[in-house]
Amino acid sequence: MAETLQNLALGFGVALAPGVLLYAFVGCLVGTLVGVLPGVGPLAGISLLLPATFGLDATRAIVLLAGIYYGAMYGGSTTSILMRIPGEAASVMTCIDGYEMARRGRAGAALAIAAVGSFVAGTLSVVALMLLAPPLANFALRLGPPENFALLLLGLLVLAYMSGGSMLKSLAMASLGLMLGMVGIDPMSGYFRFAFGVVELGDGIGVVPLAVGLFGIAEVLVTAGKPTPPLVQQPRLRELLPSREEWRQSVGPIGRGTLLGFLIGIIPGSAHIISSFVSYAVERRLSRRPEEFGRGAVAGVAGPESANNAATSGAFVPMLALGVPSGPIPAVMLAALMVHGVSPGPLLIQQAPALFWGFIASMYVGNLMLLILNLPLVGLFVNVLRVPYGFLYPAIVVFCVLGVYAVNGSMVDVWIAVTMGVLGWLLRMLQFETAPIVLGAILAPLLEMSLRQSLAMSDGHYGIFVTRPLTATLLAVGVLLLLLGLRASIARGLDWRGRLALAEKGDQS
């Protein structure tokens, strides 16, 4: 414990340096804007700003990008409460009771509860991240290629299981992503695969064009045909303070949301979205007056908002400790660190303690900044929503193309992003989830490498995957999840994933 505190002191030394502090603030500000604006999710925001971090050192870059990630979680609540439009997907559940509170004149209180809940959850989950990541990294150092293979495969299966809707469709999208990940030079034999003479494809399909296309451009294409958004509810600053009763009602949901969010965040999948859904369901079940849910229940705002913020910190645990991204957003951040010559994984804490602990400390500071930003400045952020969408989306399109081009100065990347944008739009229209594609494309080379290394270790015997206890356990859990997911597809009625899909669909329409 003393060592942890000593390391944290080192981290605060880094995080409180004026340069790092400035980038944490910029990240939080941009993240809040990204969260407020419907159609620009945290993934697109992070991908677009990735080139802007190239001139920075790794610590400032990761602090800036993480600020955007958790800033978006804060900002997403604003549009949900004031307009009943989720600024980003994790805020879908906040729309239900947040907007009802706003309609009853409690918009300010709802915003304050969401901001305080997000702050508490964000801060407590960073404590958990700080305590959990180092021992997990030590444990991960003992893993070999077979365990890595099983872990990566399990990650994909968990992602497919945790996604809302049909597991079959999620698995199909993961397999599409894995196929895309096969493009490029085979690292073991040097063969060009599926590059069709395009030299730039030798390095494979980049994460940024893939993510910007599937999440940035596709989102603009999906939103283009939708009707104009409803009027914004106007909160007054003096209404921002919740009543004593509202505070009392929000304490329990914030605590439970924090715990649930962090635990779900560690698991691969769209954790921040699922955590808010699970938290809402738990609060409704525990409530003495469940009939209030949907009519402006305080717990319906406090729980999900705390959960989606805690999930962001949880998602950093496998990314920092194992070097395994738990979803598309940590995957892009992983790529960002690699651009700066830092390899996240078990050795990160030992090799780059200033970066790791500086990042942890910056999250404490960032959460405090967001609390300050989100309460008094809410009126300012609401004004951004008054920018007509006819001006907004053309600018988003330009920034998508600019962001992709700036990464490598490559037009091939721009064409990939445009193609992925059209693909993402078509898939969204056909109700297929696109997040598994990004994760599949990132994990494919790692998965293939660990499989072939495992076979080299065992002289070509596949028994290596069942004779090593941890590998066998991980694979068994994966098979179990697969069977559970497929059973739900065959059985009649809706399981929790079906209900999640319906809830998301309902709030988007």
Partner 1 sequence: MLTIDRVGGGGLALVALWMLWESRRLPLGSWREPGPAAMPTALALTALTLGVAIVASGAAAARLEAAGWGGAHRALIIVGACVFLALGLERLGYRPTVLVTLLVLVGVVERRGLLPAAVFAVAVAWGSFFLFNTLLRVPLPRGPFGL
Shortest distance, position 250 Cβ to partner 1, whole Å? 37
Among residues 243 and 508, whose Cβ is nearest to partner 1? 508
Q: How far apart are alpha carbons 404 and 417 in whole angstroms?
A: 7
Shortest distance, position 186 Cβ to partner 1, whole Å? 4
Residues 6+ apart with CB under 8 A from 386: 232
Among residues 222 and 259, whose Cβ is nearest to partner 1? 222
Among residues 122 and 440, whose Cβ is nearest to partner 1? 440
What does the block give as tokens for 232?
């914004």
Shortest distance, position 16 Cβ to partner 1, whole Å? 24
Local structure of residue 213 (DSSP, 8 states): I
**In whole angstroms, how far apart are CA 105 and each of 100, 108, 240?**
9, 8, 11
Shortest distance, position 164 Cβ to partner 1, whole Å? 15
Q: How far apart are alpha carbons 280 and 120 in whole angstroms?
A: 17
**With helix as H, strand as E and coil as C, how does 99-150 read?**
HHHHHCCCHHHHHHHHHHHHHHHHHHHHHHHHHHHHHHHHHHCCCCHHHHHH
How crowded is the C-beta side of 16, counted as CA atoms within 13 Å?
Answer: 8
Q: Which of 311, 324, 278 is nearest to 151 (CA)?
A: 324
Q: How far apart are alpha carbons 178 and 158 in whole angstroms?
A: 15
Among residues 103 and 461, whose Cβ is nearest to partner 1? 461
One-letter amino acid for residue 169 of the chain: K
Shortest distance, position 25 Cβ to partner 1, whole Å? 17
Shortest distance, position 405 Cβ to partner 1, whole Å? 6
What does the block give as tokens for 432?
């297929």
One-letter amino acid for residue 100 of the chain: E
Shortest distance, position 401 Cβ to partner 1, whole Å? 5
Shortest distance, position 422 Cβ to partner 1, whole Å? 6
Cα dihedral value 217, 221, 222, 224, nearest 10: 130
Among residues 384 and 406, whose Cβ is nearest to partner 1? 406
Among residues 409 and 493, whose Cβ is nearest to partner 1? 409
Among residues 381 and 432, whose Cβ is nearest to partner 1? 432
Angle at 504 between CA 498 and CA 508, to 5 degrees: 145
**Residue 178 dihedral angles phi and psi, to the nearest 5°:** -60, -40
What does the block give as tokens for 420?
């992925």
Among residues 348 and 475, whose Cβ is nearest to partner 1? 475
Shortest distance, position 274 Cβ to partner 1, whole Å? 22
Among residues 95 and 171, whose Cβ is nearest to partner 1? 171
Q: Determine which helix (DSSP H) or strand (DSSP E) holds 185, and give its type and residue range.
A: strand 184-185
Shortest distance, position 216 Cβ to partner 1, whole Å? 11
Q: How far apart are alpha carbons 106 and 239 in whole angstroms?
A: 7
> Under the rule (CB under 8 A), what is the footprint of partner 1?
51-52, 54-55, 168-169, 171-172, 175-176, 178-179, 182, 186, 188-189, 191, 193-194, 217, 220-222, 224-226, 388, 390-391, 393-395, 397-402, 405-406, 409, 411, 414-415, 418, 421-422, 425, 427, 429-432, 444, 447-448, 451-452, 455, 459-461, 489
Local structure of residue 53 (DSSP, 8 states): G
Among residues 308 and 454, whose Cβ is nearest to partner 1? 454
